[in-house]
Structure 1
């Protein structure tokens, strides 16, 4: 069995590459076990300020491995959805770098990331209905929050393929590169994230997660009650600005 997930670190960026290109990176239990292990390591790794999730070969991810449906290898029934939730909660900015197909379970994986960057080859779809399946990894909750309820209904109830340009118009894709330009786009965006305080990025992400859906007054109160203070290097950052 090939290594399902390859990790490489450089300059504060951790790149996790889904590595099953002969199956368009279809997600089986082994892939989730590998992702869960890497997320556990990243939660305790202060040297990493940004995570990039991408796919090897011709596409990002074709979705769940249909031959693996119902097989959790002794894991709890919610294991796979819990791993995706763990990805969503990771207190570091996470970028999904999408080329080629990003279908169904692969789309649910991308939606758990903070940002979706893509190139012109990217194609998105929710094909659960094609197979008589119902999403359980977050599609019904994360997709409408990202693109709105009517657009989410269209995708979920037709299984139609959304091309890259339309995905950008819908707000599914944050930034879109031309064919061959994804690496440069991801590198530039990751550099913008890393230029800011990792402490602040983590705090912002945590507050956004904790207050999603709250009325404004409750959200403001939560922000004050859960305010984490300043980053350890805040004086250094301001002094650097003053020195010009």
Structure 2
């Protein structure tokens, strides 16, 4: 993991056992995203996506909170530019070609919820709080982020969150589909480690194709059929099943 530079806002990252971890680090403001942090996320994701050693990515926050949103001080000069930076970071995260998982503690609010929703999966520690808060600031939430939120929680809950800016607890977040699992306090790290081991043991070919299809890309059947024929993953998976052993998948994405 890149070294922590005091209390300065930063994106920390490291790769262990094929899992990249990106840590939102701005402890003085509960990991609120500065303009520089928003701008740094897309090129960092590009680098990690191109690394064949990376099979999955975990996004989390430093300390006891995920992300309290955008650093409001960065909105004072050019709120439109700040929103554009946030939108580009969100879309870069959503487009990451390998499985992504948000590990959430504490507050996941505003821009933090925007980033969490852009991940494929969200695991939260019990007691976390979630909110989509542009109505508190008079900000128009981007259409792409709104559609992504609706796809997770449905129109009614998305409107509740967007219209009110109210925070919801982990029980409601789980019930509405905003999070996939809720873990007991101090159980999140262990579950993330366990689940990412599962992810990196599975076929990257299957995951990459499934991610595209689930995200609405409907014109790539021929591409993925060709990838499957040339990958060897299907033959390895069947052989491993018949031989009652763990498969050793070798396909890697190209970006």
* Deviation larger for 142-151 or 63-72: 63-72
Q: Which runs of 5+ in 1 are unaligned?
A: 212-218
1:238 is the counterpart of 2:244: no
Q: Which secondary structure does the structure 2 equivalent of 1:227 belong to?
A: helix
Within 5 Å, give how 1:217-236 maps onto structure 2.
219=218, 222=219, 224-228=221-225, 229-230=227-228, 231-236=231-236
Matching residue of 2:159: 153
- TM-score, structure 1 as length reference: 0.88
Q: Is the 8 A contact 1:122 1:164 kept in 2?
A: yes
1:194 counterpart (196, 200, 213): 200
- The CA deviation at 1:207 is 2.2
Using the alignment, how far apart are the partners of 1:103 and 1:138 within structure 2?
A: 17
Q: Which secondary structure does the structure 2 equivalent of 1:22 belong to?
A: helix
Q: Which secondary structure does the structure 1 equivalent of 2:224 belong to?
A: coil
The ranges of structure 1 where at least 4 consecutive aligned residues each deviate by more than 3 angstroms after the TM superposition are 222-226, 231-234
The structure-2 alpha-carbon separation of the partners of 1:3 and 1:154, relative to structure 1 and needing over 3 Å to count, comes to closer
Using the alignment, how far apart are the partners of 1:20 and 1:138 within structure 2?
A: 26
- The CA deviation at 1:32 is 1.5
Q: Is the 8 A contact 1:81 1:137 kept in 2?
A: no
Matching residue of 1:214: none
Using the alignment, how far apart are the partners of 2:139 and 2:17 within structure 1?
A: 41
Within 5 Å, give how 1:1-244 maps onto structure 2.
2=8, 4-69=10-75, 71=77, 78-136=84-142, 138-211=144-217, 219=218, 222=219, 224-228=221-225, 229-230=227-228, 231-244=231-244
Q: Which runs of 5+ in 2 are unaligned?
A: 1-6, 245-255
**1:123-145: per-residue Cα shift (whole Å, max 9, x none)?**
00112111222213843211111
Using the alignment, how far apart are the partners of 1:164 and 1:101 within structure 2?
A: 11
Using the alignment, how far apart are the partners of 1:180 and 1:196 within structure 2?
A: 27
Using the alignment, how far apart are the partners of 1:127 and 1:76 within structure 2?
A: 15
Number of residues of Structure 1 aligned to a counterpart in Structure 2? 234
Q: Which secondary structure does the structure 2 equivalent of 1:152 belong to?
A: helix
